[in-house]
Amino acid sequence: MKRRIPYGRQHISEEDIAAVSKALTADFLTQGPNGVEFEKQFAEYIGCKYAVAVANGTAALHLCALALGVNEKSSVITTPITFTASANCIRFCGGEVDFADIDPDTILLSIEAVRKKLALAPKGTYEGIIPVNFAGYPVDMEAYRKLADEYGCWIIEDSCHSPGGYFTDSNGVQQNCGNGAFADLAIFSFHPVKHIACGEGGMITTNNEKLFKKIQELRSHGITKDPDVMHENHGGWYYEMHDLGYNYRFTDFQAALGISQLSRADKNLKRRKAIAKKYDAAFKGTEFEVILPKAGIGHAYHLYVIQVDDRKKLYDHLRALNILVQIHYIPVNTQPYYKTRGDFPTPNAQQYYARCLSLPMYPTLTDEEQDWVIEQVKGFRG
């Protein structure tokens, strides 16, 4: 097969193009009615009270850290198996990042490793935890909430990989990723390889009205025109800057694309699950190790990861065949920047990194393409 098969990609439909074209000829290119509608529909889809659309997923993380008061005295725990932004958002605010190891059975941040760090440190050492729903596998946020409350920590749930995913709580209730039932704040990304593609873009979700309003303000230079909170009011033109915010706004034509993409999110998630099921069956009983979700887990399958001993050879073999597999992720704590900030032993993460490989996973992957990928992986001899 000559055509390139990436590990992930966007799909732009005729309906998407029409929605964006309509937005481009409307009165607002940014901060208009499409943005408000997208926030409303996304909150309904996730099942939370509030949603704020922002420039990208990194901006979403940064705004969350700002709203929670992260500063140079803060110390926060996160996972090494994530994109660097999950940790960088704390450094943007001057705080320190500590990395706990992963659970090898899920590749998620190990709650036992986090518990150990919290228990061994003087109370108050850590003020927050950032679990990541890696590859679309949801974190048990109920368990993390209980742990966070015990030690007085807030939680940012990084749900960039998991819109539409869920876990089942202790009462048997399905809890959607990012629904605000347990985390103080959650974030999503609309990068092209994600479930909902807007080019760039992100969303912050919460059930906390105070944090919601703070993030709205910080998204736009820390400026407000709300007469209920302004110190003065000189007239309809008047505004006040209450904090040092940023221009992290989201355009109206991106929101139009997001609304259109959201309308088929469930259909696309169903296709992702079908692709995963086929991979699961193909690699069962082989040398290629896969992570199967436990009972009660609704995996969102942003990624499909296998683990294999001769990972580098398989990577090179598949890339030579135009199967553009990828590695997710290089442990953040091993990056030169973070190595200068401390020693963070994470043996499970290191072992996972040495063996992981992300196979093609996106809704428009055809059966023929997936069969070709499976054939080339299973036929590989290291």
pLDDT tens-place string over residues 37-62: 999 999 999 999 999 999 999 999 99
- 172 and 297 share one domain: no
In a domain, residue 366? The reply is yes
pLDDT tens-place string over residues 120-148: 999 999 999 999 999 999 999 999 999 99
Give per-residue burial for 161-179: e unless 16+ CB within 10 Å, then b.
Answer: bbbbbbbbbeeeeebbbbb
Strands (E), the chain: 5-6, 50-54, 75-78, 96-99, 128-130, 154-158, 166-168, 174-176, 185-189, 202-206, 223-224, 240-241, 289-290, 304-307, 323-324, 356-359
DSSP of 110-169: PHHHHHHHHHHSPTTS--EEE-B-GGGPPP-HHHHHHHHHHHT-EEEEE-TT-TT-EEE-
Query: Percentage of the chain with pLDDT > 90?
Result: 98
The model's confidence at residue 382, banded by pLDDT at 50, 70 and 90, is: low
Name the 3-class secondary structure at 305: strand
- Whether 319 has a pLDDT exceeding 80, the answer reads yes
pLDDT tens-place string over residues 148-168: 999 999 999 999 999 999 999
pLDDT tens-place string over residues 55-111: 999 999 999 999 999 999 999 999 999 999 999 999 999 999 999 999 999 999 999
- The label of the residue with tokens 């709300």 reads 226
Question: CB 215: neighbour CB atoms within 10 A?
Answer: 24
- 87 and 157 share one domain: yes
User: 24 vs 14, 63, 257, CA distance in Å?
Assistant: 15, 28, 11
Mean pLDDT (the chain, rounded)? 97
- 236 and 331 share one domain: no
- 209 and 310 share one domain: no
The model's confidence at residue 381, banded by pLDDT at 50, 70 and 90, is: confident
Handedness of CA 299, 305, 306, 309 (dihedral sign): negative
| CATH number of 132's domain | 3.40.640.10
Terminal Cα distance for the chain, rounded: 21
Domain end, chosen from 232, 247, 262, is at: 262
Q: Which pLDDT value is given to residue 2?
A: 72
In a domain, residue 1? The reply is no
- 125 and 249 share one domain: yes
- Host domain of residue 46: 6-262
- 231 and 299 share one domain: no
